[in-house]
């Protein structure tokens, strides 16, 4: 496991079912694997629609890993834990 700091952004649009599920899932994974070395920013596009362009957000919810490189996007409610961990490069691809 890497010892780097993780900068994560979760894009949501209002308090929808999918967004809530995604946020809950994410929090759970981070507590398990990245405790103390991550920052999570939740961006509600309904409040700040202009922010969607910067990270090329199409789908909601989208999790963006800004740091460390490479930039990764994971879309969906993050229900598949394996995929999320692989996507965040926490766990290497099998």
Partner 1 sequence: MTDKNKNQVKPLVKTPTGILGLDEVTLGGLPQGRPTLICGSAGCGKTLFSLEFIVRGALEFNEPGVFIAFEEKAEELATNVASLGFDLYELQEDKKIRIDYIHIDKSEIEETGEYDLEGLFIRLNYAIDSIGAKRVVLDTIENLFAGLSNQAILRAELRRLFQFLKDKGVTAIITGERGESSLTRQGLEEYVSDCVILLDHRIINQISTRRLRIVKYRGSVHGTNEYPFLIDEEGISVLPVTSLQLNKQVSSERVPSGIPALDTMLSERGFYRGSSILTSGTAGTGKTSIAASFINAACERNERCLYFAFEESPQQIVRNMRSIGMDLQKHIDSGNLQFQASRPTLYGLEMHLVAIHKSIRKFKPTIVVLDPITNLITVGTMSEVKSMLVRLIDFLQVEQITVMFTALALNTITNEQTDEGISSLVDAWIQIKDIELNGERNRGLYVMKSRGMEHSNQVREFVFTKTGLDLIDVYIGPEGVLTGSARATQIMLEETGELIHSQALDRKDRELDRKRKMLEGKIDGLRTEFESTEKELNKVYIEEQIKKERIQQARRNMEDIRKGTPTSNDTDNKENK
Binding site for partner 1 (CB under 8 A): 11, 13, 16, 18, 21-22, 45-46, 49-50, 52-53, 56-62, 70-80, 83-84, 86-87
Least Cβ distance, residue 72 to partner 1 (angstroms): 6
**Measured from the CB atom, is 38 or 62 closer to partner 1?**
62
Least Cβ distance, residue 30 to partner 1 (angstroms): 15
Q: Are 6 and 67 contacting, i.e. CB atoms less than 8 angstroms apart?
A: yes
Question: Can you read off the two tokens belonging to residue 84?
Answer: 């999320």
Q: CB-based burial of residue 72 (10 Å sphere; 0-12 exposed, 13-18 middle, 19+ buried)?
A: middle
Least Cβ distance, residue 32 to partner 1 (angstroms): 16
- Residue 18, phi then psi, degrees to nearest 5: -65, -40
């Amino acid at each position: 496991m890497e010892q780097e700091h993780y900068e994560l952004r979760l894009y949501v649009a209002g308090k929808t079912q999918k967004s809530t599920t995604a946020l809950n899932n994410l929090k759970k994974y981070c507590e398990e694997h990245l405790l103390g070395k991550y920052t999570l920013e939740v961006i509600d596009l309904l409040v700040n629609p202009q922010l969607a362009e910067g990270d090329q957000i199409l789908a909601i919810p989208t999790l963006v890993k800004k740091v460390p490189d490479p930039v990764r996007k994971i879309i969906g409610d993050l229900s598949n834990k394996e995929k999320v961990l692989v996507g965040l490069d926490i766990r290497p691809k099998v």
